[in-house]
Amino acid sequence: MLASGSRGNAVLAYSGTRGVLVDCGISARQVRLRIEAAGLAGVRIEAVALTHEHADHTAGVRVLARTLEVPVLATPGTLHAASSTLADVPETAPLRLGDAIRVAGLSLTPFRSSHDAAEPVGFRISFPSGRALGYLSDSGVLTDETLEALAACEVLAVEANHDLEMLERGPYPAFLKARIRSAVGHLSNDDAAAGLAALAHDGLNTVIGLHLSEQNNTPHHALSALGRARERLGIDARVVAASQHEPLVCAV
């Protein structure tokens, strides 16, 4: 997890020296610096896959795709909505919901998320080991379809955007609070904990809270909610929070 939050998102999924970048909402330079800081300078990005067109997921994609000469993969709706950003990238390719694609030795399956964007998705990413990372950022609700797509992943990265009470008492205007809480907004800490309860299984080794709001959440709040769920479930998965500023390296 190179960066996670409303000021930019980027995840490098890799195996050996081959990698795919999921979202590029930080600058191409920051992507490079954070990959180096994570000790992964030897990993080559072979493609960028986008979850949706919002700037915190796409701000750096144009420069990065042009510099590295790699294709950008996204659903037709996202490609269309981001068309001005993607106008002069070397190549774009459409992703279809539920259809796995092979890239950088990994298998990526996009699944529908629930967010106020054109055609947003999360990804299930399968590694050569057979293990999988489930990645869902920016979703207002966890639907049955989402839970099915995220089932039996060894690493679960799920949005834990806000603490409901902090959001309620916080400085955001009412319309923005309503948007965040809506079915096409962002998942709360409690939503992420409910997701963990629905998705827990013996093979689950790590749970990562994503896209923590700097106004309406703290790592402490997010980790407490996920930690309480873990205790109730009696599982011993590691629970961590992805950061806006620091890369987080995680074995799948």
Minimum CB distance to Zn ion smaller for 25 or for 200: 25
Residue 159 within binding range of Zn ion, rule CB under 5 A:
no
Least spacing, CB of residue 69 vs Zn ion, in Å: 26
Query: Secondary structure of 137-157 in the HEC alphabet?
Result: CCCCCCCHHHHHHHCCCCEEE
Residue 186 within binding range of Zn ion, rule CB under 5 A:
no
Residue 23 within binding range of Zn ion, rule CB under 5 A:
no
Q: Are strands 238-241 and 18-22 parallel, antiparallel or unpaired?
A: unpaired
In contact, 142 and 171? CB cutoff 8 Å: no
Q: How far apart are CA 1 and CA 250, in angstroms?
A: 8
| Amino acid identity at 252 | V
Torsional sign, CA 99, 101, 106, 109? negative
Q: Name the one range near Zn ion by CB under 5 A: 49-57, 85-93, 105-113, 167-175.
A: 49-57
Residue 162 within binding range of Zn ion, rule CB under 5 A:
no
Minimum CB distance to Zn ion smaller for 78 or for 126: 78
Least spacing, CB of residue 186 vs Zn ion, in Å: 8
* Tokens representing residue 54 in the block: 């919002």
Minimum CB distance to Zn ion smaller for 55 or for 198: 55
Rule CB under 5 A: which of 123-142 touch Zn ion? 138
| CB-nearest residue to Zn ion | 54
- The strand pairing partners of 18, in sequence order, are 15, 44
Minimum CB distance to Zn ion smaller for 18 or for 179: 179
Binding residues for Zn ion, total number by CB under 5 A: 3
Q: What Å distances lie between residue 51 and 135, 147, 167, 222, 242, CA to CA?
A: 10, 17, 24, 22, 17
In contact, 83 and 92? CB cutoff 8 Å: no
Minimum CB distance to Zn ion smaller for 91 or for 246: 246
Residue of the chain from 4, 21, 50, 54 that contacts Zn ion (CB under 5 A): 54
Least spacing, CB of residue 22 vs Zn ion, in Å: 12
Least spacing, CB of residue 58 vs Zn ion, in Å: 10
Least spacing, CB of residue 24 vs Zn ion, in Å: 12
Residue 53 within binding range of Zn ion, rule CB under 5 A:
no
Least spacing, CB of residue 6 vs Zn ion, in Å: 6
Q: Are strands 238-241 and 92-94 parallel, antiparallel or unpaired?
A: unpaired
Minimum CB distance to Zn ion smaller for 138 or for 163: 138
CA 58 to chain centre: 12
- The strand pairing partners of 94, in sequence order, are 74
Least spacing, CB of residue 10 vs Zn ion, in Å: 11
* Tokens representing residue 194 in the block: 């409910």
Q: How far apart are CA 57 and CA 67, in angstroms?
A: 18
Minimum CB distance to Zn ion smaller for 54 or for 221: 54
> Rule CB under 5 A: which residues touch Zn ion?
54, 56, 138
